Amino acid sequence: MDVGNRYAFFEGEIVPIAQAKVSVMAQALNYGTGCFEGIRAYWNEQRQQMTIFQLRPHMERLLRSCKILHISLPYSADDLCQIATDLLRKEDFRANCYIRPLAFKSAPAIACRLNDIADSFAIFALPFGAYLDSSGGAKVCVSSWRRIDDNIIPARAKVTGGYINAALIKTDALLAGFDEAIVLSEDGHVSEGSAENIFLLRDGQLVTPPITGNILEGVTRRVVMQLAKDELGLETVERQIDRTELYIADEIFFCGTGVELQPVVSVDHRPVGNGKVGRVAGTLVERYASVVRGQDERYLEWCTFV
C-alpha cells in the first residue's frame, strides 16, 4: 500500500522504504518488545516550511522507554533529532505528517526476555491528517477494558506490545458507534483515552489524572497545561478522577500528538455541559493550532524548523 513516503532511516542510514525490512522471526514481532514515539510535523504553506513540534522531548521520552526495556541505542537525543530532521528534508513533504521512531529487539530469537537480545532502530514518516474525524466534538463511552498497570506493562513507556490494550479499547468503542473511549485504571479511576491524555473542567478548575495514575506522561499534556496557564490563567490540578465526574463535568477534552486537542461532547450518552464544544477547549484548540505551526513567537522553542 502506498502511503506517500519514500524513505526510512534503517540500520544506520536513510534508505528507500522498500529496503527497511525486518525478519518475520524478529523478537519484537513475536513478543512486542519494542518502544516508539509519535511526532507531528506541520506544513506552513505561506512560509513553505515544515515545523516539527516538540521534537526533542519526544526523543528524550523514547530514550527513557528504551531504558525501561533494556534497549541500548548508539544515539543521543540530539542525534535522534538530527536523524528525524534529515529524513523529513529527504522526504520533502508538502503536507502535515507524522514521524515514527521505533526501537526494538530485532534478533531472530525465540526467547521471551529483554537481556542479551540485539537492538535495532528505525524512523519513518508519512503524510498524516486528523486522528479523529469529529469536528463538532467526540462522542465517547467508558470502556469495559481497564488500563494496563505500571507493574504489568509500564504505562509511562510507549511499549509496542502494550498497545494491544489501546486497540481493544478503541475497537469496542468504534463497533458500539462511539468515536473514542475513556478507560479506567484497575482501581476504577479515570486514566485516559485509548491513546490520549484527558482533561476535565469542573467549576472553573482544570483537572487531569496524575502521572502515577497509569497514564502516559504525555508531551502534549505538558503543553496543554502550560497553554491553559498562559492563555486562560488556569492552573491544572493533577488528582484522581472518579467515573461519575465525567457525567457532571463542564468540559472534557483529549490531548495527544496524534489526536492534538479533541473536545468531548458526550460520555455514555450523557451530554458534557451543554453538549457543545466549550470555551476553554475551543480556545486551547485554536491556540494549539497556532503554536504547533510556529506562528506564535512566545513558543518558538517548542518547534524545530526543517
Please identify every residue annotated as catalytic.
158
What nine digits make up the cell of 292?
A: 504547533
Q: Which residue has the cell 481497564?
A: 146
| C-alpha count within 13 angstroms, C-beta hemisphere, residue 279 | 5
CA–CA distance, 85 with 45 (Å, rounded to integer): 18
- Listed in sequence order, the residues at least 6 apart from 281 whose beta carbon sits closer than 8 Å to its beta carbon are 201, 251, 252, 253, 261, 263
- Is 278 in a helix, a strand, or coil? coil
Which residues of 70-118 form beta strands (DSSP E)?
97-105
DSSP characters over 149-191: PTTTS-TTS-BGGGHHHHHHHHHHHHHTT-SEEEEE-TTSBEE
Q: Which residue has the cell 451530554?
A: 271
CA–CA distance, 34 with 177 (Å, rounded to integer): 32
In what helix (H) or strand (E) does residue 192 lie, and over which residues does it extend? Answer: strand 190-193
